Amino acid sequence: MTSWKRLAIAVMATILPIGAAAAAACDKPRQMDGFQTCANVEEAEKEGALVLYSPDPEANQTALLNSFMTAFPKIKATYLRLQTGALYAKLMAERQAHTYQLDVLTLTDMTFVLDFQKRGGWARYESPELAAYSPEHKSKPEGYYMWGGIIIAGIAYNPTTLKAEEAPKSWKDLLNPKWKDAINVKVSNSGLQHEAWLMLKNIYGDDYWKQFATLEPRAFDSYVQQFDRTVSGQDQVICTAQYSGYLQFKAKGAPIAFVNPPEGVIASPSLMGAVDQAPHPEAAKLFMDWFSGVPGQQAYVDSSALYSARTDVKPPAGGLPITAFKQLIPDDWDAFLKTHAAFVKEWNSMVGMR
């Protein structure tokens, strides 16, 4: 091989992400029960396994994967659950060691999602089911990841410890000094909290979070912890309360109320995609087709109480239609990412290590 050819190959290797040439939708997708696939189903069943990494609560993941295994009993699906920041750190450590254990990845922070794309971590697979999604709910270029679910977040409180007329009605109401030492938030590793920080800063300016900091909020990495504390009476109010958590706790009979702020709710993506160097590549493709199709999306909505980005999937049980919410969401993800360091610095300073 001539020296200029070696140079051209080396240059292209630095430009093309790993797996970039590894997947385009097939010309004739195979019709399955409720969805189409370009995966080799028989090969996926021979692989016999699927590994998912996700920050979703264990109960949600178990229900989702059980639905998949009901449809494909020859494939044993397992998962690893860690909070998003810890999950991504583990993933990076594995890939540095050239250890490839997972097939499909869920992340809830666009910072990590786009970083993983730049590193060539996602496998590009253009599922035939992606045609049902709007462009803003798919990666650019398409095929690396998609919006597996939409997380809606507002305000929540315990109606047995706080009367409705005394509860906050808007994001601005959260600045009331009476919530000092009685309100909780999420930690800085949360993409949802990052979005809330930016969107409310855009509405009310930098002083909003400076005033909020005087309330000395407590920070947690799981929405389950936030709701547990509020239901038990340890806290009175949840800032950036996931609507999915509200629906799940309400369904169990817990005393909890949700506020849909007039400024709008924070809308954040739960993102899903197959990964490069997956040990079960055909099973990963099959899962992504099933998951992004109506059967998988409905199973995810039912298990997680999140909303689907598809318009032909029902809302979570007991939930309002997504059109009932004014969604606050960044219109420029690259600009959003540039604010990450400032957010982490301010947020960590505010919540401390109490």
Question: pLDDT per residue over 257-300, tens digit each?
Answer: 999 999 999 999 999 999 999 999 999 999 999 999 999 999 99
Instruction: Sort 78 into a burial class: Cβ within 10 Å, 0-12 / 13-18 / 19+.
Output: exposed
- pLDDT for the residue 25: 67
Model pLDDT, residue 83: 87
Beta strand pairing call for 327-328 and 265-274: parallel
- Please return the burial class of 110, using the count of CB atoms within 10 Å of its CB with bins 0-12, 13-18 and 19+: buried
Task: Quote the pLDDT of residue 85.
Answer: 86
Q: What is the DSSP letter of 171?
A: S
Q: Which regions of the chain carry the CATH code 3.40.190.10?
A: 22-150+269-319, 151-267+323-351
Residue 325 has phi, psi (to 5 degrees) of -115, 135
**100 Cβ contact partners less than 8 Å away, ≥ 6 residues apart:** 94, 275, 277, 278, 279
pLDDT for position 270: 95
| Architecture of the domain spanning 151-267+323-351 | 3-Layer(aba) Sandwich (3.40)
Look at residues 127, 101, 115, 153 and name the one whose alpha carbon lies nearest to residue 265. Answer: 153
List of the chain residues with pLDDT < 50: 1-24, 353-354
Q: What is the pLDDT of residue 20?
A: 35
Average pLDDT, the chain: 91
Residue with tokens 């906050």: 168
pLDDT cut 90: percent of the chain above it = 88
Distance separating alpha carbons of residues 73 and 45, to the nearest angstrom: 9
Q: What pLDDT, on the 0 to 100 scale, is given for residue 15?
A: 32
Query: Which CATH code, of 3.30.70.141, 3.40.190.10, 3.40.50.720, 3.40.50.2020, is assigned to 22-150+269-319?
Result: 3.40.190.10
- pTM of the model as a whole: 0.87
Can you tell me the distance from the alpha carbon of 286 to that of 279, in angstroms, rounded to the nearest whole number?
14
